[in-house]
Chains A and B, each alone.
Chain A
């Protein structure tokens, strides 16, 4: 993902400390330490930010546009000059746990250390052993290109005071081991809160807002709340539907798209059944009772009725063949639109973008040949897009609100990747 929020911003490094060569060691469960580290690195989705398109694995250099300028991810291969070849396991733990370089320098919070701080030392040691096993790539880190005043790293101190609380995950003794494992993965390595929390102008999320959803900066996709059943809360989903979605990218309730497609593609599809189930159990448990439906649409009633009536015409012509005349779809491959939270939620950004841009769910081990949705940006006018989205948000008992042609038009220029 090109999100600024998922980048290990190593910047200029001063290398200190003795090298710790990775030896084949056994992890706590008897499996190889390196293999365990690889698995955990998948869970943390390190590759998404630390590998550039067509670049060498973990050599960094991926551009991350942010509201503050462009960051470039760093080389975390075992190269001694340009990578982390001279780091110790202690250095690596400090990076993950405190967001600090071996010399004490501060990392930009695009590196999700606010989540990784919850990861145990045993697990960071395994990830470090795996990274040390990656062939060295001699590739110097590219300087970040941040606007003043964000180029001043001292500002990170302020950010940390406001938004960073250090500390490993503390299991909740009143909950099951499975729930705690799920919480550890979701809140820690999974760093789900980096997108699924409202992000304020300072690029931080506050604890009370965790998992409440938000628009992802620069990408213009809405990361829905994981706690509200009116958004992506999973309170009334079956565990199987949740695990299907996380592991294969498709489910009987809906499919992943946009930035979440990348998360499933690079990370979640590789998690084993037990961990996936643990995450599902935890995610289902954090859904809260739904708030009352939002106030009615901001659009005048007459305009809404016109839109919805045109919307049905557009729907029957272009959409019903796959999604069904009653929005029932042919799940899991052609998702249902009726009772689909992703369609109904207050922010209409995602349904509008899906109609404009279409999309494929990620190809995964469980679903290697996904079915795709055509882009309609070139076929439908702003009015028709607004109409069909208004229709699917309000038809068949759906409780969304109509959207305007202006909203549809604005999203035509949203970045695609």
Chain B
């Protein structure tokens, strides 16, 4: 009897050991560990890296990030390394990834001096803050917020991005290689921009210092100038 009890006790202990060993030998059960595949390009907390074409993800509205993950997964937004990584991941998991990066709040990078001319920067400032009513170009701030930090759930902030990334994306919207759900408001706006407009807007946006509060505005804080598929009413 004693022997059996001892054997049982040893077996139980061994089982505990096994369980403990299994936990020790497993990766951390966290989103941070699960999104390590994202970090070489987007930074450990989604703050961006030295590569000027890879955007910051941290603190962007979760709805915006989710829309982008879905667009990459479905091939609507084309960038093969992203399309490949996301192709077989379930939508609820992409939502969790979006939530994770939306919840990260590393500081915005310090602004680097722009090599654009004064005239270019002035043109950029004018388009960003006032738009060009004659060409039916709205001010960036009318959708992306007066402080350009975006609005929940679907409108991204425009700060903390490098001019190369902004130019590349505006170019992609203009040429129709980047699209979003209809009505595709960003495509409509970008189609009215010239190449000079794009360069100027990108240079000006990248030169803006961080506001005190970099969080996106809550949903419905302001009314958009037109309907937008990415920001449903």
With contacts A53-B75, A262-B88 taken as known, whether A369 is within 8 angstroms of B37 at the C-beta atoms is: no
Query: Can you sample 29 A-B contacts with CB below 8 Å?
Result: A54-B74, A261-B87, A322-B27, A322-B36, A330-B25, A333-B27, A358-B85, A359-B84, A360-B85, A360-B88, A360-B89, A362-B89, A363-B88, A368-B93, A369-B34, A370-B34, A370-B89, A371-B27, A371-B34, A372-B37, A372-B85, A373-B37, A375-B40, A375-B81, A377-B81, A378-B41, A416-B83, A417-B75, A417-B83
B81 to A357, Cβ gap below 8 A? yes
Q: Is A379 an interface residue (CB 8 A)?
A: yes
For B84-97 the 0/1 string (1 means CB < 8 A from A) is: 11111110110010
Q: Is B76 an interface residue (CB 8 A)?
A: yes
A379 to B35, Cβ gap below 8 A? no
Residues of A within 8 A of B36 (CB): 322, 371-372, 374
Residues of B within 8 A of A (CB): 25-27, 33-41, 51, 74-76, 80-81, 83-90, 92-93, 96
For the residues of A in contact with B, the DSSP-based class is loop
Residues of B within 8 A of A372 (CB): 34-38, 85
A363 to B93, Cβ gap below 8 A? yes
Name B94's closest neighbour in chain A (CB-CB).
A363
Name A359's closest neighbour in chain B (CB-CB).
B85
How many angstroms between the C-alpha atoms of A245 and B7 in the bound complex? 35
Q: Is A334 an interface residue (CB 8 A)?
A: yes
B35 to A417, Cβ gap below 8 A? no
B85 to A378, Cβ gap below 8 A? no
Instruction: Tell me how many residues of A have a C-beta within 8 Å of chain B.
Output: 32
Residues of A within 8 A of B41 (CB): 375, 378
Name B75's closest neighbour in chain A (CB-CB).
A53
Residues of B within 8 A of A53 (CB): 74-76
Q: Is A42 an interface residue (CB 8 A)?
A: no
Q: Is A118 an interface residue (CB 8 A)?
A: no
B93 to A417, Cβ gap below 8 A? no
A54 to B93, Cβ gap below 8 A? no
A368 to B90, Cβ gap below 8 A? yes
Q: How far is the CB of A194 from chain B (nearest CB, A)?
A: 19
